[in-house]
């Protein structure tokens, strides 16, 4: 639990977040007792500290409150952060070289097209990407998934004629595999992707419909990215996407126009992908 952060209700007001080491010191010093209301990521609601496993010795705690604490006590960083393009959280960074990124993307596309090599092409590409993404507080990000984990998914995705909801089911399966295999300093992060297949289907349908508006698709992408980040569970900090539809729109237009000259494609890919990574922030 060393990476968790905690909130505590003090005189009717929310205090925190506190790193777990500091939070445990408060308990040891008597600043937080069994009756104190506390909350940490993963808890459904505020609870008396005496009812949270592991915080106190196993003795009979005081009676639990009959009425839940006011909603104002619940930390709600996701809703605030997702609305703000000026979100002050730590941003992710990507250290992609233009030519290596282009080459790796090309190898990935060829590997998927050959079908048999699809699982190895995907696993190799994800490992390369993860190693070049810098996450504040999480050194040495890595991807530990193996080609044999869900090889059948990549084979089916690469087969011609696979489409509809089944193809989207395979995509969600791949996303869950990707997220669950991220690690830092050789240890799995314990992340899971909880977004459902039908939720993903809804975003795909909405995107297809938005294309008819010429520009509306950019705002759909922005909202879908926020949905994606909200459904990454198990992190010690809130994960949010802060890019706006307008930012996505003008960057995509510039990317498309410049890539028409062919030669700048690797550099434009790096510029475009690095921006997307930088719009993922930790609250």
Q: Tens-digit pLDDT profile for the chain (283 aa)?
A: 457 787 887 766 777 778 888 878 888 887 788 778 887 877 767 777 777 777 776 655 455 555 555 555 555 444 433 344 455 568 999 998 999 999 999 999 999 999 999 999 999 999 999 999 999 888 899 999 999 999 999 888 888 777 778 889 999 999 999 999 999 988 999 999 999 999 999 999 999 999 999 999 999 999 999 999 999 998 888 899 999 999 999 999 999 999 999 999 999 999 999 999 999 998 7
User: What is the edge-to-edge ordering of all strands in the sheet holding 90-91?
Assistant: 90-91, 280-282, 239-241
- What are the residue ranges spanned by the domains of the chain? 5-75, 82-282
Q: At the topology level of CATH, where does 5-75 sit? A: Dna Ligase; domain 1 (3.30.1490)
Strand duo 90-91 + 47-48: pairing? unpaired
How far, in Å, CA of 43 to CA of 185, rounded?
26
How far, in Å, CA of 72 to CA of 76, rounded?
9
Contact 59, 106 (CB under 8 A): no
CA dihedral 159, 164, 166, 171 (to 10 degrees): 80
How far, in Å, CA of 40 to CA of 73, rounded?
12
The sign of the CA dihedral 240, 244, 247, 253 is positive
């Amino acid at each position: 639990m060393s990476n968790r952060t905690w909130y505590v209700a003090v005189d009717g007001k929310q205090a925190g977040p506190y790193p777990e080491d500091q939070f445990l010191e408060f308990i040891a010093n008597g600043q937080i007792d069994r009756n104190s209301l506390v909350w940490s990521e993963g808890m459904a609601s505020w609870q008396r500290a005496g009812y949270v496993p592991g915080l106190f010795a196993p003795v009979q705690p005081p009676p639990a409150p009959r009425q839940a604490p006011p909603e104002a006590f619940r930390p709600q960083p996701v809703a605030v952060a997702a609305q703000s393009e000026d979100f002050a959280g730590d941003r992710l960074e990507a250290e992609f070289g233009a030519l290596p990124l282009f080459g790796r993307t090309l190898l990935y596309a060829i590997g998927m097209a050959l079908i048999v090599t699809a699982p190895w092409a995907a696993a190799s590409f994800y490992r390369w990407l993860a190693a070049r993404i810098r996450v504040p507080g999480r050194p040495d990000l890595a991807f530990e998934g193996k080609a044999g984990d869900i090889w059948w998914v990549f084979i089916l995705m690469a087969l011609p004629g696979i489409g509809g909801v089944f193809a989207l089911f395979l995509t969600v399966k791949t996303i869950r595999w990707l997220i669950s295999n991220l690690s830092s300093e050789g240890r799995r992060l314990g992340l899971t992707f909880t977004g459902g297949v039908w939720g993903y289907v809804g975003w795909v349908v909405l995107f297809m419909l938005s294309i008819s508006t010429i520009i509306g698709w950019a705002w759909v992408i922005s909202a879908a990215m926020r949905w994606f980040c909200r459904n990454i569970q198990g992190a010690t900090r809130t994960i949010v996407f802060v890019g706006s539809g307008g930012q996505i729109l003008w960057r995509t237009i510039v990317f498309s126009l410049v890539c028409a000259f062919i030669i700048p494609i690797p550099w434009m890919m790096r510029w475009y992908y690095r921006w997307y990574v930088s719009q993922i922030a930790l609250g």
